[in-house]
Amino acid sequence: MKTPVGLVTVALTAAILLTATLVIATGTRGEETEFPSSAGALEVRTFARGLVNPWSLAFLPDGKMLVTERPGRIRIVSAEGQLSPPLKGVPDVWASGQGGMLDVAIDKSYAQNKTIYFCFAERTSGGGRTAIARAKLNDAAGRLDETKIIFRQEGPLSSGNHYGCRIAQADDGNLFVTLGDHGSHRDQAQDLGNHLGKVIRIAPDGSAAAGNPFIGRAGAKPEIWSYGHRNGQGLAINPASGDVWEVEHGPRGGDELNIIRPAKNYGWPVIGFGLEYSGGKIHESTAKDGMEQPVKYWVPSISPSGMQFYTGKLFPKWSGNLFVGALSGSMLVRLSLNGNGVAGEERLLQNLHERIRDVRQGPDGALWLLTDSSNGRILRVTPSVK
């Protein structure tokens, strides 16, 4: 007996939809993925896929989120994991080398002002530099309105490397931002006359924030908060203390975790724990008077990117811990803290074999990750219920 063509079509369509639903719910290979941890088994599920080198994730109050892609795009991700078309109104982005669209952050008063901040590599004559923009998100129209570049990094230009750039907004509304040394200009990280290798603190309009340590000092940029950094790609404010913490890439070894204090010199490239990629010497030593020591450093490098203090309830054993994504390390690093010191380290999700570009805590208390590849994913990490 032959089955009517119409019934075959309906059956095939239903099967395709069911398969697609299972793939979205359970991961890249169509299967649930569990990983061991000190808090019990972790369940990792794919929430969204098909992103090209996603760089940053930010949650909106309505359950949606923003995600950036390094080629120069910002998208809205629905509460069901659907990706919007790229938002209109984004400035021209120089997506070359390590540059492109980088971090995105939601203003603390977003519910009232719809304001977001983002940073990106901006092309200029002879190279690129980090720029920071502010805009209003028009979700319904799929665009950014009133987009304005509020800050441009000054100093020798980049040929494509070491832009930074992470944003953290303090309770007073001011923005802390990491700015890279542009790779081939490492000595400029010690020069207060430019923004290379610095953490800056700016007001929401891009001006130097009141109380910055170098305001009024001749030859120093007023936006600078700290200096002597290489390529900061993680920045977070510790909710327990209000301190600003940063992670930055070392060269061959010497990635650093730092607590950022005003006017302090963090030593790059004078002191450090790394080598040239060729194996040659970079630093004078590992310590020097007047230069800060890291809270922790990694040799060999893990290439830290993205960081989050955990305050959720899904992982009560990990309350107050610091999570750091790792690129070359292809893992999620959990650091238990003792005041301003690191008491222990746990390396998670190593069998995932994915470069972790960003880590965020969601409103649901889950850990949310971005995987950095040409088919990047948004992952949701929760305790396993099996």
Indicate the number of domains in the chain.
Answer: 1
> What b-and-e string marks burial along 351-371, b requiring 16 or more CB atoms within 10 Å of the CB?
ebebbbbbbbbbeeebbbbbb
Catalytic residue ranges: 162
pLDDT in tens, 73-82: 999 999 999 9
Which residue bears the tokens 């490098």?
301
4: pLDDT strictly greater than 80: no
Residue 14 included in any domain: no
Residue 149 included in any domain: yes
Q: Does the global pTM surpass 0.85? A: yes
Residue 7 included in any domain: no
Residue 239: DSSP 8-state: T
pLDDT in tens, 289-332: 999 999 999 999 999 999 999 999 999 999 999 999 999 999 99
User: Per the structure block, which two tokens stand in for 135?
Assistant: 């805009």
Q: Give the residue-averaged pLDDT of 53-80.
A: 97
Other beta carbons less than 10 A from residue 240's beta carbon: 12
CATH code: domain of residue 238: 2.120.10.30
Residue 20 included in any domain: no
Residue 327 included in any domain: yes
Which residue bears the tokens 């230069």?
291
Residue 32 included in any domain: no
Report residue 32's pLDDT band, with 50, 70 and 90 as the boundaries.
low
Name the residue range of residue 55's domain.
42-383
Residue 326 included in any domain: yes
User: Per the structure block, which two tokens stand in for 209?
Assistant: 């924030």
Residue 224 included in any domain: yes
- C-beta of residue 212 within 8 angstroms of C-beta of residue 223: yes
Radius of gyration of the chain from its Cα atoms, rounded to whole angstroms = 22
The pLDDT of residue 327 is 98
